[in-house]
Amino acid sequence: MHQFDLKNKTAIVTGGAQGFGLNIAKRFLDSGAKVIIWDIDKSELIKASKELNNPNLSYNVVDVSNFDQVKEIVDDIIKISNIDILINNAGITGSTSSLWDYDVAEWNKIVQINLMGTFNCCKCIVPTMIKNNYGRIVNVASVAGKEGNANASAYSSAKAGTIGLTKSLGKELADKNIAVNAVTPAGAKTRILNQMSKEHVARMLSKVPRGRFLEIEEFTSLVCWLSSEENSFSTAAVFDISGGRSTY
């Protein structure tokens, strides 16, 4: 497995206590970075911290949909450290239901966490990246944001919004040494699949030409490259990792 050089870099990984986020944190630590994982679940954060068992790892209990909370924690971090890398990974899929039957409160929650959470973190962290003229931001979107998944309109809409945010912010920062990109995975072997019905999971898998779900390590390799200094040109872009499901 390729070794990226993230020495002397500090990364924040939202939704970092499990799934994609936890694997990203591990790979970052192995690559020499200091990593701060954010999650709303304190018990999962403690569990992840014990599992990774690395002195360069710390964590915060954070609800990314709460702007004031995000800003307060960012302000505390930048008193003692730069923030060089931001991985906006926190997200929920929500239940599967037709749009006209979708619960309004749940719709709003999905958008608040997936889209507004990404906005909140970028809004609070980008200014310090501008000050330091360095940053790498990776927003975890989804193939659902490109194509739209039936009975997942809230999640699809939030991830489509994340793609639009990425393109706008990447262009706004293109004259600086700050790269902003999105990744659009298809279904992967993470606990998020447990939130979906068996029928929905089977439908997702049927759309993937490779005939299997994404392995977490495959996804993490792409995120690591986008987060490294090796990615010195690509910005405002969407990197597909869907096993051939999407080709644009």
**Catalytic positions, please?**
155
Contact 50, 59 (CB under 8 A): no
Q: What number of helices (H) and strands (E) belong to the chain?
A: 9, 7
Torsion on CA atoms 29, 185, 136, 30, rounded to nearest 10: 10
Contact 243, 209 (CB under 8 A): yes
Phi-psi region of 131 (alpha: psi -120 to 50; beta: other; left: phi over 0): alpha
Q: Measured between alpha carbons, how far is 146 from 246 in angstroms, rounded to an integer?
A: 8
Q: Measured between alpha carbons, how far is 173 from 46 in angstroms, rounded to an integer?
A: 35
Q: Measured between alpha carbons, how far is 199 from 206 in angstroms, rounded to an integer?
A: 11
